[in-house]
Amino acid sequence: RKEVEQDPGPFNVPEGATVAFNCTYSNSASQSFFWYRQDCRKEPKLLMSVYSSGNEDGRFTAQLNRASQYISLLIRDSKLSDSATYLCVVNKHRGSTLGRLYFGRGTQLTVWP
């Protein structure tokens, strides 16, 4: 079973729409959670961390449910520039593997005018 599972999409939404991505992780010992963004033909970059209490950064809201081992990302008022692949990422702290990240396969989002 993969460490991180997410719906690959694609999600195609109009500008202004609200869209939500979900992700599950398999290891209950996982400590840290993130969303990375990858634009077409570019490298991944950190979008935001995900905290237990949920957190918001402008139009982006991330939620974590440790009991269900579930992470979500909500994008409100979608912009054309939000078109990208969103990667769900998990970090486990364990000895020498500190710093290693486990990436989901990514969810592709296209926002159309």
Partner 1 sequence: DVKVTQSSRYLVKRTGEKVFLECVQDMDHENMFWYRQDPGLGLRLIYFSYDVKMKEKGDIPEGYSVSREKKERFSLILESASTNQTSMYLCASSLWSSSGSSYYEQYFGPGTRLTVT
* Binding-site ranges for partner 1 (CB under 8 A): 8, 31-32, 34, 42-46, 49, 87, 91, 93, 96-101, 103-106
Q: Looking at beta carbons only, is 38 or 76 nearer to partner 1?
A: 38
- Quote the least distance from Cβ 20 to partner 1, whole Å: 20
Do the Cβ atoms of 34 and 46 come closer than 8 Å?
yes
- Quote the least distance from Cβ 16 to partner 1, whole Å: 29
**What are the DSSP E strand ranges found in 30-83?**
32-38, 44-50, 55-57, 60-65, 70-75
Q: Looking at beta carbons only, is 12 or 31 nearer to partner 1?
A: 31
Q: Which residue's structure tokens are 């009991």?
A: 67
- Quote the least distance from Cβ 19 to partner 1, whole Å: 20
The SS3 assignment for 59 reads coil
Q: Looking at beta carbons only, is 42 or 79 nearer to partner 1?
A: 42
What is the side-by-side order of every strand in the sheet holding 70-75? 4-6, 19-25, 70-75, 60-65, 55-57
- Quote the least distance from Cβ 98 to partner 1, whole Å: 5
